Amino acid sequence: MVVSLDDTKRNAIAVKLASLKVLQQLVLENEKQLLQQGLDSEISDRIRDFIKDDEKNLGILETVIGQYGIQAEPKQTVREFVDKARKMFQGSELSLYEKVSQHELLKHQVVMSGLIVHKAAQKVGADVMLAIGPLNAINFENRAHQEQLKGILEILGVRELTGQEADQGIWARVQDALAAVSGVVGSAVTQNSDKKDMNIQDVIRADHSKVNTLFTELLQSNDPQKIQEYFGQIYKDLTAHAEAEEEVVYPRVRAFYGAADTQELYDEQAQAKRELEEIKALSPSSPQFKEKVKQLMDAIGDHIRQEESTMFAAIRNNLSSEQTEQLATEFKAAKKKIQEKLGVVSEAKS
Ligand SMILES: [Fe+2]
Ligand SMILES: [Fe+2]
């Protein structure tokens, strides 16, 4: 029996993540537009800060999608919404207040999508929670932006209706609201703003720990359907990870890690690939299934230990931090391409 690699819930979350990404892109476009509208300096400064956060968050979101392991198209209705919203925002029918008001609604939509993905992940599995972890910081920042947008709306709204300035104290109230939000979400914002770019070791390590979680989930389950679901994700994750290593990382480290050790890594991955195909051909309810998965997990475990000890040490000793960050970018891009080749999912037809 051939195991289907499709899983409805996982694909639905992938579509939601892709939708979140186009919404986040629209957020950025809008903010850049707003900056050209001759706003007062307090408001412009805040919008410039939003742009900085949103650019960083878009990058984090792309990493999360790669880590999640399924590339998807955004939902059709979201794409239509984005087109319409973009036109309205660039047009001249809306007053400045109305534009900012639309923008605040858009932020709300982004926040809710992020929260829904977070809640849905809790229902699907520990590996999904792990992959989408960084979303929490994005959700928090968008919530914080929303509170500030309310302050901006108050200023612009009063000005448009009366030609006068709103009462003092708006920013103090915004500050209180931000404190209340951060009380709920904790220190997510500081974690996020301190975050350095991920280097290749960080990205590889994150993939390794995700696949370990998936193996554990699979072996703990006795439900053939769940077992199939976990295996489907292991298959996709290991394939994308291994091929991206072979394309980007191994050729790069060979010179200083040594031809023999590098070749060993290639050979181990070729072996793992054969085993993956063997398992894929088995029924998840057959007794050999878990046995084979266990063997694969042990072999992968040895391979991972080698990469994280000696290969990482060689990388640390031979590449600069800029080079390891650049390698991470190349690795993520290669992985994305491979994931797309494995199938870009779009929203369910039903
Ligand atoms: Fe590897
Ligand atoms: Fe690896």
**What's the gap in Å between 243 CA and the centre of ligand 1?**
9
Average the pLDDT over 26-31 and give the result: 96
**What's the gap in Å between 193 CA and the centre of ligand 1?**
31
Q: Which of 56-60, 195-199, 299-303, 307-311 has the lowest mean pLDDT?
A: 195-199
Torsion sign over Cα 280, 286, 289, 290: positive
Find the ligand nearest to 242 CA.
Answer: 1
pLDDT tens digits, residue range 45-62? Answer: 999 999 999 999 999 999
Q: Percent of the chain having pLDDT more than 70? A: 93
Torsion sign over Cα 15, 21, 23, 26: negative
**What's the gap in Å between 303 CA and the centre of ligand 1?**
6
Position 5 scores a pLDDT of: 58
**What's the gap in Å between 206 CA and the centre of ligand 2?**
10
Among 235, 232, 199, CA closest to 331? 199
**What's the gap in Å between 221 CA and the centre of ligand 1?**
26
pLDDT tens digits, residue range 241-267? Answer: 999 999 999 999 999 999 999 999 999
> Is residue 131 pLDDT above 70, yes or no?
yes
Position 344 scores a pLDDT of: 81
**What's the gap in Å between 228 CA and the centre of ligand 1?**
23
Position 8 scores a pLDDT of: 87
Tokens representing residue 101 in the block: 């008001």
Residues 139, 158: Cα–Cα separation, whole Å? 29
Distances (CA, A) of 53 to 36, 48, 159, 229, 329: 18, 9, 28, 35, 19
Contacts of 251 (CB under 8 A, 6+ apart): none
Position 180 scores a pLDDT of: 83
Find the ligand nearest to 208 CA.
Answer: 2
The three-state DSSP-derived secondary structure of the chain is CCCCCCCHHHHHHHHHHHHHHHHHHHHHHHHHHHHCCCCCHHHHHHHHHHHHHHHHHHHHHHHHHHHHCCCECCCHHHHHHHHHHHHHHHCCCCCHHHHHHHHHHHHHHHHHHHHHHHHHHHHHCHHHHHHHCCHHHHHHHHHHHHHHHHHHHHHHHHHHHHCCCCCCCHHHHHHHHHHHHHHHHCCHHHHHHHCCCCCHHHHHHHHHHHHHHHHHHHHHCCCHHHHHHHHHHHHHHHHHHHHHHHHHHHHHHHHHHCHHHHHHHHHHHHHHHHHHHHHHCCCCCCHHHHHHHHHHHHHHHHHHHHHHHHHHHHHHHHCCHHHHHHHHHHHHHHHHHHHHHCCCECCCCC
User: Are 73 and 345 in contact, with CB atoms under 8 Å apart?
Assistant: yes
Residues 106, 100: Cα–Cα separation, whole Å? 10
The mean of the pLDDT values for the chain is 91
**What's the gap in Å between 7 CA and the centre of ligand 1?**
25
**What's the gap in Å between 208 CA and the centre of ligand 1?**
9
pLDDT band at 287 (very low <50, low <70, confident <90, very high): confident
**What's the gap in Å between 307 CA and the centre of ligand 1?**
7
Position 3 scores a pLDDT of: 45
> Is residue 291 pLDDT above 80, yes or no?
yes
**What's the gap in Å between 27 CA and the centre of ligand 1?**
37
**What's the gap in Å between 140 CA and the centre of ligand 1?**
34
Contacts of 17 (CB under 8 A, 6+ apart): 61, 64, 65, 68, 72, 117, 132
**What's the gap in Å between 207 CA and the centre of ligand 1?**
10
pLDDT tens digits, residue range 181-237? Answer: 876 655 444 444 445 678 999 999 999 999 999 999 999 999 999 999 999 999 999
pLDDT tens digits, residue range 144-182? Answer: 999 999 999 999 999 999 999 998 888 989 988 888 887
- Quick one: 349 exposed, middle or buried, by C-beta within 10 A (0-12, 13-18, 19+)? exposed
pTM, to two decimals? 0.87
Find the ligand nearest to 250 CA.
Answer: 1
**What's the gap in Å between 174 CA and the centre of ligand 2?**
45
**What's the gap in Å between 244 CA and the centre of ligand 1?**
9
**What's the gap in Å between 306 CA and the centre of ligand 2?**
9
**What's the gap in Å between 310 CA and the centre of ligand 1?**
12
Position 111 scores a pLDDT of: 94
Within 10 A of 124 (CB to CB), how many other CB atoms are there? Answer: 17
pLDDT band at 346 (very low <50, low <70, confident <90, very high): confident
pLDDT tens digits, residue range 69-120? Answer: 999 999 999 999 999 999 999 998 999 999 999 999 999 999 999 999 999 9
Find the ligand nearest to 207 CA.
Answer: 2
